[in-house]
Structure 1
Amino acid sequence: MKAKESIYLSKSLFIRGLQCRKSLYLHKFHPELRDEVSEAQEAMFQSGREVGTYARRPFPGGIEVPYEDLSLEEQLNLTGEKIKRGARILYEPAFSYDNVFVKTDILRKARQGWELYEVKGSTGQKEVYLDDIAVQYYVLKGAGIRISKASVVYLNKQYVRNGDIDPSALFVIEDVTQTVDRQRFVADEIADMRKALGKRVPDIDIGKHCTHPYDCDFYGHCWQHIPEYSIFNLDGRGRVKPFDLYRQGIVDLRDAPKEILSKKQNIQLESFLQKNEYVNKVALKQFLDSLWYPLYFLDFETFSCAIPAFSGTRPYQNIPHQYSLHYLKRKGARLGHREFLAEPNIDPREELAGNLVSEIPDNACVLAYHASFEIGVLKDLAASYPRYRKKLQRIVENVRDLEVPFRKKAVYHWKMNGSSSQKYVLPALVPQLSYEGMEIGNGGMAVQAYFRMCESQDQSEIEAIRKALLDYCKLDTLGMVRILERLREMG
């Protein structure tokens, strides 16, 4: 066997290589170019480990082959030893064939052979999971393990926790045996990946593969030639797609061809070229006329868990633990503010719901930004707490979305760079308000801060995090107040 054909691969490297040969090459030979792992990504990895632990419960009595403190060869030897001694269920057993190393989440002995189970933290089946199992099938079969059944194990999105977690109801086990026996495909892909690794860095340009099926961790490196204001920031709802322009050599937003852009895309382009703001006064007036007093500005902070944290919740359900509420009781009234942040390590929903309905009058116009999120949280609360249901439903009926005029391009400022997100709209319209320099500057950071508060035993740290969370959420709703003021000036 030639040296370049025997380059070591693993299951994760195989999946990476399927997505992009260049990503595989950079991972093997230039790992220093990878993007920094964020707190949110670390939390996602931890969540995946938790799901994996729970997925073992329907398969009790198994023996784990750990990867900590063991070399690959030691893991392979330990797996072989356990199988020879008659182990019937193995967690994370290791196998190698054709110099491809894999660890299988769960392997169970059955009458006709072994059953392979691949655990995923999602709530549904995905095409990439079949590739994941296919390479395991290839390696195990090559290593002399007969696979009689192959399944994907994923979270049941309909599962509602009632007391202790019921692992058998928490997961869906989907038999994919008929679709993963693709030995020729796997062997050909492995051979081609090794060819790519034996040459110079593959000449692969950016494309949709940079984010599908997974976000590539070399994104920052490969996209560094794209300017801040580029065709990739064009409104995506036009008939012209950014990658179509990119393949024609058009990258800078200034070079976008006006004649083929949609109306919204042309609004964006002209605003950028003129470095000004666009206002459709008729559309803006229609939006402003839909609001009334008393006017309440609402923002929730939530967290979600793959494994439902509380009774009555589903996998990945948004659990509100905090809100900020600015309000104007009438035109010209003094701006008021209320807020709520739950104590750590409790189910915060009922207390939060009770506080919220006591603070928002039935006749209030409730303004939220990207309101579908707040509406979803309110509906979940209404379903969970009948005593507050009518008042929560009334709030839902009275919610209006402050994002609408920006999403519809009734108002656009060139510094929004194609986005209608509050994180872009606020600094463009109200530059004196900024998240820069704040300890918590976005929703992802807020979630991780809340988790740290729940884990901390240091009261001073808890208080510091609490203050930072309150400051962040308060700025979200104050920002909405100031944005509305600017809209009224424009209208």
Structure 2
Amino acid sequence: MFKLKAKVNKETFKLSMKECVKKAWIWDNKENFASAVNWKKDRILEIDADANFDDENEFSDSAESIDIFSAYLNIESLNENEKEEFLKKWNSAWDSETGFDPELFAGETIEDGNAFGEKVREYFDMKNIIANDKRSEKKSTANLDELKFFEAEKKTKELLEENKCEYIYEAAFSFDDEKIRTRCDVLKIKDNKHVEIIEAKATTKVKAEHFFDLMYQVFVLEKCGFIVDDICIAKINSDYVMNSDLIITEKTFGEQAKEFINKLGKIKYEEIKDFVKSDFTVEYDNEPIEVDLNKLIYLDYLTYGKNAKRPTLKDDLKAFREKFDLDQIFMNLSNHLNMKYENGEIPEFLHNKKCTLNYNKDRAGNWDHGFNHDEYDNCFHVMNWFDKDEPGFWNIGKFKRSFKSHVIRNSKSPYFKDYESLFEPSIVLNKKGESFFETNRIAKRMFEVYNLKKQYPEDESKWRVIDLDNLEWINNLLSVYENYPIYMYDFETSKWAIPRFNLVNTYYQTPFQYSIDVIVDNNYDYNKPETMKHYSFLSNEQDTDPRIKFIENFIKDSFKHGPGVYVAYNKSFEQGVLRKLAMMFPKYAKPLAYIIQNTVDLMDFFTSDTKVTGRPAFLIYHPYFKGSYSIKKTQPSLDPSFSYNDLVINKGDKASETFRKFVDGRIPKAAWDLKVKEGMLKYCDRDTLAMVVILKKVKELVEAHNGKN
């Protein structure tokens, strides 16, 4: 008999199936989460419950991971307004009918999900109208979105009994005294209790969590006596470009923009000289912004993965159920969730070295347990406490967190300070009996610098911050910066799931702001702004495409002192933005292409390029980088006196969300002009000045070394 001991909500189920039951247990309810917080504070357990990246060094200027756990731990450090905003979202998220979803805690994600859900309902309303034109017995649609769960469940039953609806939005079902319950984004009603489930996701591809989302819904509806004929994901068609006849023939929109630039060939300054010096004006597109639902929405019946021959979601679910008993899985999960902490005792399963109850597929697409069958002690979600701020194995970049967990769990210590070498016998070997670090250049470089710091704690000159074995690489990179002017530039962008302007596709990185610091000669000093030239732009108009004035001002400012060296930090992002601008506004393609083709990456001093040039990682490495090459780590390490701490807006994702709120009308124009605009400008300006700091400090380090020899 199917009987659960504890409620299993959808989000908890998804976390358990895809990742780890320990993570699912923590996020299942406020009480469990509060206990986990206390265990972390008391240095009993280390929680990494909401980490999103396989490698903590993966980052983009346009999208930063939101660490909710750390944010909650440090809530008292927020000012009153930030604290109030955080707690409002926090409490609202816990009130969700399907459970707390860490991925949906970010404001932009919620807004995009709601906006796309509305478009999906409009799409099926349209399908219903078209179908009614061809049938004698007319059908309707019903939206239960505004109803609370028990009201929606009651209304769903009434609508099904009336049998007059073709589609019900947010239909509600429960079983076993509501221990399992779900709402379906779109439920297509057929005869004799046959239905189809369509899950709306503001995404461009089907993901593993979407599969488990549908699995949960199918399970609940079947328990309620329904027959689910088919399941699919209503997703966003990334090839749809608003009000454009552009056809995406390459793999992605970005790849097509890259091909467009390549076809222009090498641009010479003489070709664009007269144009960039002219007083040109970029004209606004006055075409109305109207979304074509048939082009925007794509119904994907195939399961997740990269295999071109992957099965349908329905067949994949069938294959899963042929191997595993869903009743038993739900009961096992319920048993885990029923485990409570008594007298301060931590539930025993939280000490497991492996993630449990999760499921995955092998390369052939066959279902099996996931990490549970892995040869490594790889659960990084909950571990015995260790200090992540102390240099050690956890900080090593390009090193999977599952491997980090295994090394930390099975070696003498998680910290570099307790070893003389990365190849000591007390450090566990991999499954082949070899060192995890034999070919890990980053780990070796980090350990080398830390070990020298340990030997000479007061003499930074002996830490080998400069990789003395690769001075030729460093000098080659620096040689580019001997030519003036040097344009240090940085963008801020916002993105929307539903295209917000013409000539954009979904999640198009829309540039709305830039900062440029121009180094005109060798006498520059970031502490004396007057030794450089500075230009900036911030769009201040609501309901207006910010790219128009962005292009106009950026091109003019980028040639104010003639052609030069253009410098970005993580140039692939800025170049990607410029390529798309060039393709969608071809009249300005050549000057934009010139900047793209002459942009170098300041991050090259820290990142590797082993595939193309063979450049090794961390030519410059300071122990305070802690394995990261983010500008938020590299710049403060090289000059701690220069920081972002005094800024109201001090992160790229916050700037992006703020501008989006302004454009969408959630920040009034008066408030923007009075309070917000200045903070936005200061943040972007600080980014380019931070780049100047890095260049100056790298030059000083090399000059100091050369002076000794």
Do these two structures clear the TM 0.5 threshold for a shared fold by scoring above it? Answer: yes
Aligned residues, how many? 482
Question: Aligned partners of 2:239, 2:353: CA distance in 1, in Å?
Answer: 37
Per-residue deviation, residues 42-93 of structure 1 (Å, max 9, x unmatched): 221222121111111221052122365x3x4333221111111122210010
- Distance in 1 between the 2:184 and 2:9 partners? 11
Q: What letter is aligned with 2:237?
A: N
Corresponding letter in the other structure for 2:541: P
Which of residues 460, 466, 481 is equivalent to 1:279? 466
Matches within 5 A, 1:11-410: 11-18=10-17, 19-26=19-26, 27-28=28-29, 29-32=31-34, 33=36, 35=69, 36=71, 41-60=106-125, 62-66=141-145, 68=147, 70=148, 72-86=149-163, 87-98=165-176, 99-110=179-190, 113-162=194-243, 163-175=289-301, 176-181=313-318, 182-183=320-321, 185-200=325-340, 201=347, 202-204=349-351, 225-228=386-389, 229-236=391-398, 241-249=403-411, 250-255=413-418, 257-259=421-423, 260=435, 261=437, 262-275=440-453, 276-280=463-467, 281-291=471-481, 292-332=483-523, 334-345=531-542, 346-361=544-559, 363-407=563-607, 408-410=617-619
Please identify, of 461-470 and 180-189, the stretch whose mean Cα deviation from structure 2 is larger: 180-189
Deviation digits for residues 377-403 of structure 1 (CA, Å, limit 9, x no counterpart): 110111111121000000000000000
Instruction: Using the TM superposition, name which of 30-39 and 16-25 deviates more.
Output: 30-39
Shift of residue 272 of structure 1? 2.0
Change (3 A) 1:110 1:238: closer
Moved more, 326-335 or 314-323: 326-335
Task: Give CA-to-partner distance per residue, 1:388-440, whole Å, 9 cap, x none.
Answer: 10000000000000000112211111101101111001100121110113101
Cα offsets for 1:137-182 (capped at 9, x unmatched)? 1111221222221111111111111141112211221122222245
Does the residue aligned with 2:122 lie in a helix, a strand or coil?
coil
- 5+ unaligned residues in a row in structure 1: which ranges? 214-218
In structure 2, how many angstroms separate the alpha carbons of the residues matched to 1:152 and 1:2? 29
Distance 1:377 1:46, change over 3 A: same
TM-score, normalisation: structure 2: 0.64
TM-score, with normalisation over the residues of structure 1?
A: 0.90
- Equivalent residue number for residue 278 of structure 2: none
Residue in structure 1 matching 2:644, options 435, 446, 459: 435
Change (3 A) 1:312 1:141: same
**In 2: Cα distance, 1:239 partner to 1:103 partner:** 34
Offset, 1:101? 0.4
Cα displacement (A) at 1:484: 0.6
CA contact (8 A) 2:238 2:505 kept: yes
> Does the C-alpha gap of structure 1 residues 207 and 479 become closer, same or farther in structure 2, counting only changes over 3 Å?
farther
Query: What's 1:415 paired with?
Result: 624
Instruction: Check conservation: 2:5, 2:338, Cα contact below 8 A.
Output: no
Letter in 2 for 1:444: D
Q: What secondary structure is seen at the aligned counterpart in 1 of 2:582?
A: helix
Return closer, same or farther for 1:223/1:419 CA change in 2, 3 Å cut-off. farther
Contact 1:137–1:180 (8 Å) recurs in 2? no
Opposite residue 13 of structure 2, the aligned amino acid is: F
Deviation, 1:271, is: 1.5
Residues 194 and 208 of structure 1: CA distance in aligned 2, closer, same or farther (over 3 Å): closer
How far apart are the structure 2 equivalents of 1:449 and 1:73?
A: 36
Q: Which has the higher contact order (CA 8 A, sep 6+)?
A: 2
Partner Cα distance (2:540, 2:551) in 1: 14
Q: Do 1:123 and 1:156's aligned partners in 2 also have CA atoms closer than 8 Å?
A: yes
Query: Structure 2: how far apart are the matches of 1:111 and 1:161?
Result: 38
Counterpart residue identity of residue 548, structure 2: E
CA contact (8 A) 1:453 1:466 kept: no
Distance 1:208 1:189, change over 3 A: closer
- Please tell me whether the aligned partners of residues 456 and 462 of structure 1 are also in contact (alpha carbons under 8 angstroms): no
Asked whether the equivalents of residues 453 and 462 of structure 1 are also in contact (C-alpha less than 8 Å), the reply is no
Shift in CA distance, 272/203, structure 1 to aligned 2, threshold 3 Å? same
Q: Write the distance in 2 (CA, Å) between the matches of 1:337 and 1:167.
A: 44
In structure 1, distance between residues paired with 2:634 and 2:478: 17
* 1:477 alignment partner, SS class: helix
For 1:171, the aligned partner's letter is: I
The percent identity for this pair of structures is: 23
